Structure 1
Amino acid sequence: MWVDRKIHQYHIWRCLIIVVLSDLVNELKIFVRKALGNSFEHGYPHIERVLNNAYEIVDHEELDIDRNILTITVLLHDIGRLIGEPHAYYSSLFAKAYLSDRGVSSDVIDCVVNAILYHSYSYVLEHNIKPICEISKILSDADKLDALGVVGFIRVFLYGERVGRSLKETMDHFNNKILNLHKLMHYRYSREKALKLRERILEMLRYLNDELILENKV
């Protein structure tokens, strides 16, 4: 009888958490869409693509994670770009304050904050951040997949134009970072998809190189 009562209480508690997190997801989608805007590079379209990548990873790898927590993490991972760099750090501060204010448990907040910090290639290199939960690995892979393929190719040039990179600096960025992202993937599905998208990047770069050579001959 005591065991049955405890199980019943656990299910009620679990349902309440799901409802609360679901409400936060809906609230955040509205807020983040308005805050980040429609930029193809790092606006809400990027958030949607990363979210789709994350769901695909979870489904293909059959991972047992809370999708509400994953969604909240993805929605908040780039919000710090509104402040500046390091955007992962500012995003993590916002996430911690926002979730704490809404009574989310400390273990969930720790996971979300770690995932946001861990998704940033440069922040990980500088601060040696390690993943403490599965969602950290999922977000890292999902975000990096959006830097590959034709989408990634376009985003690199959009970002380079915005920050004033030269063409040589942009090409170096492809060689030094983008073309090596497949090595950082945590899951088999992510690595396989990254390698396919990497081939598209290489093909686009070959086309670009051919056209630049023709221009130089004129």
Structure 2
Amino acid sequence: MAAATMRKKAEELVEKAMKGNDGSHDASHVWRVRDLAISLAREEGLSSNSDSMEIVELAALLHDIGDYKYIRDPSEAKLVENFLDEEGVEETKKVKILNIINGMGFKDELSGQTLCESLPEFGVVQDADRLDAIGAIGIARCFTFGGSRNRVLHDPEIKPRTELTKEQYMKKEEQTTINHFHEKLLKLKKLMKTEAGKRRAEKRHEFMEEFLKEFYVEWDGRA
């Protein structure tokens, strides 16, 4: 895993860069993703390679810095690259870390981009991030984000969008929080890259399905 000094500096950068974000994309989210990624990496047999574990941990720690949903200044897009340069991370590791971060988003999968076959660390970090987007934590994060953007909770007249493109997904058009489950969250189980991620996704996915069933029952006044 990442050396203690670099890990501490990366954690400090996370806390500074993500300060002021709503609770769906704050430092706590990053700590959970880092811990999940390390756990998945061990299950996937990457722990025998110290370089792989360092790449996994740093990519997980830095993955949401410069997120397009929260970026306040164009210079923030270079924060991660500048950090890796300042810390003297060797070029091959730096390129892998940046490739993982730049390609792991759902919007990138919609556009057909994938790095999983060439980078085993990619699947581990992406799965960890997606596991934190589903299940009980995922539900809490979804409603936290929706509330921060003043989204409508649910409107039966607004149907979930199907066959989304990257551009449609990123477009800030009126949508509901509940529709986000159908447009993204319920799809993540099938998009897991690692066997360890697939196993963990099962329970979290089922929990979301049960939640939505109860939500619709209560919304319609049937319970």
Q: Judge same fold: TM > 0.5, yes or no.
A: yes
- The runs of at least 4 aligned residues of structure 1 exceeding 4 Å deviation read 89-92
CA distance in 2, matches of 1:157, 1:195: 21
> CA deviation digits over 1:114-171, x for unaligned, max 9?
1101221113323724344222111110000001111101111111122232224222
Which amino acid is 1:186 matched to? K
Tell me, what secondary structure is at the counterpart of 1:111? helix
Aligned residue in 2 for 1:100: 85
Q: Is the 8 A contact 1:77 1:92 kept in 2?
A: no
Aligned residue in 2 for 1:24: 6
Which of 109, 117, 128 aligns to 1:142? It is 128
The 3 A distance-change label for structure 1 pair 113 and 176 is same
Gaps of 5+ in 2: 156-175
Higher helix share: 1
> CA deviation digits over 1:11-50, x for unaligned, max 9?
xxxxxxx88x432111111231243248531101101111
CA distance in 1, matches of 2:25, 2:75: 15
The 3 A distance-change label for structure 1 pair 206 and 135 is same
CA distance in 2, matches of 1:29, 1:82: 20
Aligned residue in 2 for 1:159: 145
1:124 aligns with 2:106: no
Aligned residue in 2 for 1:69: 55
Percent identical:
27
CA distance in 2, matches of 1:47, 1:59: 18
Q: After superposition, where does 1:45-84 map in structure 2 within 5 Å?
A: 45-63=28-46, 64-65=48-49, 66=51, 67-81=53-67, 84=70
User: More displaced, 89-98 or 167-176?
Assistant: 89-98
Q: Is the 8 A contact 1:77 1:91 kept in 2?
A: no
The total of aligned residue pairs comes to 197
Q: Is the 8 A contact 2:127 2:192 kept in 1?
A: yes
Q: Is the 8 A contact 1:36 1:79 kept in 2?
A: yes
Q: Is the 8 A contact 2:135 2:207 kept in 1?
A: yes
Q: Report the RMSD for the aligned CA atoms in angstroms.
A: 2.9
Which amino acid is 2:124 matched to? I
CA distance in 2, matches of 1:81, 1:181: 19
Which amino acid is 1:155 matched to? R
- Cα offset for 1:79? 1.1
Which amino acid is 1:61 matched to? E
Q: Is the 8 A contact 2:62 2:80 kept in 1?
A: yes
Aligned residue in 1 for 2:212: 205
The 3 A distance-change label for structure 1 pair 90 and 49 is farther
